[in-house]
């Protein structure tokens, strides 16, 4: 079946007016980036929908495979075009319907006739085309209320446009349309999922990772790089900032009693992340925290950790259960990377008995014996930055 164009329906574009054009431009750019190697593809954006054309049918098929991973698309439909006369419309209708399994399915024809000079009215056309389809596909039956197959026929002066398939898009908003944030990316299951969810809401992502060699291995860092690369396949190039955390972490564990160790470590990580955030031109910080999951994620802990900055901390998983997070991780294909058995810095330096209700005054008191600021500045300067340009990944065909 040769499709002539794809009709792309926009997802949520909650902001109105001039912002809408901005969203549409962003979406167009993101689609162009996802399809940049498909030479024959052309996009025309209108206020309410976008059209994609491709002369080469391989390009068209690749576009159909890739569009479901682009945020900001609600759904899309391949469209076949023919001359606006009954003979050609009949022929095309059979081709379009025949491109799907029909046995035992219900269907309905819907006509949109904008060419008022066309010699048949809508109700006549509906019956004639419907009758023709039924005669040729005896396995079909009509259901006007809830048809499985809805054949749309648009009759305009320049041609007839037929479509019967609706592919789900990824929903959300175009990546980059809601600014950029810095994702605290561990090698765990949660943080990549958190990054994905923020990208879905239009946020471009850079990432920061804390490594503590030789306590953490190269393979642990490799794992984080693979996660960053995977995230870049959702429409945003990702810059990964890798912080050499060993010395500072050792200093913290010497200075701070076991009970407050975890809280202070997290506070230092957040202070470092906040400095990198400024340099990365990011507005917020994203974490994979989920309420009550571990000692550092009680409301009391989050409050004590959060106290070091007024930057918005985005925690898209705060209300998610672990099993829900795992299901998402599997869906976006980060799970198999996350479960590789290499420990990150927090696991290595894990105190035996962390407080679930740390007291800020106590934490601040122990921290006050050392001026951490110069050490924080130092690791920010010493960081490595690895670039992951936006990837094209054809595997994500049914994400929602
Ligand atoms: P995850 O699966 O994302 O590692 P987790 O359930 O293991 O989460 P924690 O280890 O307590 O929880 O980490 C909470 C959050 O802190 C992580 O989701 C991540 O955003 C951040 N974080 C933890 N360790 C690191 C690290 N080494 N580098 C960067 N960020 C980290
Ligand atoms: Mg972790």
Per-residue pLDDT at 236: 83
Per-residue pLDDT at 16: 61
Pocket mutation for ligand 1, best pick of 183, 186, 221 (most atoms within 8 Å of C-beta): 186
Coil, helix or strand at residue 133: helix
- Contact status, residue 376 vs residue 268, Cβ threshold 8 Å: yes
Distance between Cα 398 and ligand 2 center (Å):
28
pTM of the model: 0.87
Assess whether pLDDT exceeds 50 at residue 350: yes
Confidence class of residue 399 from pLDDT cuts 50, 70 and 90? very low
Per-residue pLDDT at 109: 96
CB atoms < 10 A from the CB of 397, how many?
14
pLDDT tens for each residue of 153-166: 999 999 999 999 99
Pocket mutation for ligand 1, best pick of 190, 224, 249, 262 (most atoms within 8 Å of C-beta): 190
Distance between Cα 160 and ligand 1 center (Å):
54
Per-residue pLDDT at 345: 65
Distance between Cα 190 and ligand 1 center (Å):
7
Distance between Cα 77 and ligand 2 center (Å):
41
Per-residue pLDDT at 389: 86
Assess whether pLDDT exceeds 50 at residue 141: yes
**CA–CA separation, 387 and 400 (whole Å):** 27
Dihedral of CA 351/352/358/364: which sign?
A: negative
Helix or strand (DSSP H, E) at 54:
strand 49-54
Pocket mutation for ligand 1, best pick of 302, 346, 356 (most atoms within 8 Å of C-beta): 346
* Region 216-228 average pLDDT: 94
Confidence class of residue 75 from pLDDT cuts 50, 70 and 90? very high
Average pLDDT over the chain, rounded to an integer: 91
Assess whether pLDDT exceeds 50 at residue 398: no
- Contact status, residue 388 vs residue 227, Cβ threshold 8 Å: no
Omega of the bond prior to 166 within 30 degrees of 0, cis? Answer: no
* Region 87-112 average pLDDT: 95
Confidence class of residue 391 from pLDDT cuts 50, 70 and 90? low
Nearest to 80 by CA among 100, 65, 105, 66: 100
**CA–CA separation, 64 and 72 (whole Å):** 15
* Region 249-256 average pLDDT: 93
Please, is 300 exposed, middle or buried when counting C-beta atoms within 10 Å of its C-beta (0-12, 13-18, 19+)? middle
């Amino acid at each position: 079946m040769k499709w002539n164009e794809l009709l792309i329906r926009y997802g949520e574009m909650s902001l109105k007016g001039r912002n809408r054009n901005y969203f549409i431009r962003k979406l167009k750019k993101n689609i162009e980036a996802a399809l940049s190697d498909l030479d024959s593809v052309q996009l025309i954006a209108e206020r309410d929908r976008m059209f994609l054309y491709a002369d080469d049918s391989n390009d068209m098929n690749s576009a159909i495979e890739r569009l479901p991973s682009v945020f900001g698309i609600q759904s899309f439909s391949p469209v076949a075009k023919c001359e606006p006369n009954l003979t050609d419309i009949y022929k095309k209708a059979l081709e379009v319907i025949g491109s799907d399994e029909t046995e035992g399915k219900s269907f309905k024809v819907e006509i949109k006739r904008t060419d008022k000079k066309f010699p048949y009215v809508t109700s006549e056309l509906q019956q004639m085309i419907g009758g023709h389809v039924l005669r040729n596909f005896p396995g079909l039956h009509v259901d006007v209320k809830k048809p499985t197959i809805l054949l749309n026929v648009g009759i305009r002066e320049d041609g007839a446009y037929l479509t019967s398939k609706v592919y789900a898009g990824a929903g959300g908003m175009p990546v980059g349309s809601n600014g950029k944030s810095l994702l605290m990316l561990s090698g765990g299951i949660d943080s990549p999922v958190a990054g994905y969810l923020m990208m879905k809401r239009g946020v471009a992502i850079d990432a920061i990772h804390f490594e503590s060699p030789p306590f953490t291995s190269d393979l642990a860092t490799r794992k984080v790089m693979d996660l960053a690369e995977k995230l870049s396949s959702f429409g945003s190039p990702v810059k990964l900032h890798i912080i050499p955390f060993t010395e500072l972490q050792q200093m913290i564990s010497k200075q701070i009693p076991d009970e407050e160790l975890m809280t202070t470590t997290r506070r230092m990580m957040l202070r470092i992340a906040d400095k990198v955030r400024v340099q990365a031109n990011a507005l917020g910080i994203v974490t994979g925290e989920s309420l009550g999951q571990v000692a550092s994620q009680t409301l009391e802990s989050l409050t004590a950790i959060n106290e070091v900055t007024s930057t918005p901390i985005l925690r898209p998983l705060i209300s998610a259960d672990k099993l829900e997070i795992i299901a998402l991780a599997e869906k976006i294909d980060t799970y198999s990377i996350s479960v590789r058995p290499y420990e990150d810095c927090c696991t290595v330096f894990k105190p035996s008995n962390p407080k679930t209700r740390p007291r800020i005054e106590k934490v601040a008191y122990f921290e006050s014996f050392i001026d951490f600021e110069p050490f924080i500045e130092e690791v920010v300067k010493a960081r490595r930055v690895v670039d992951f340009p936006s990837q094209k990944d054809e595997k994500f065909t049914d994400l929602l």
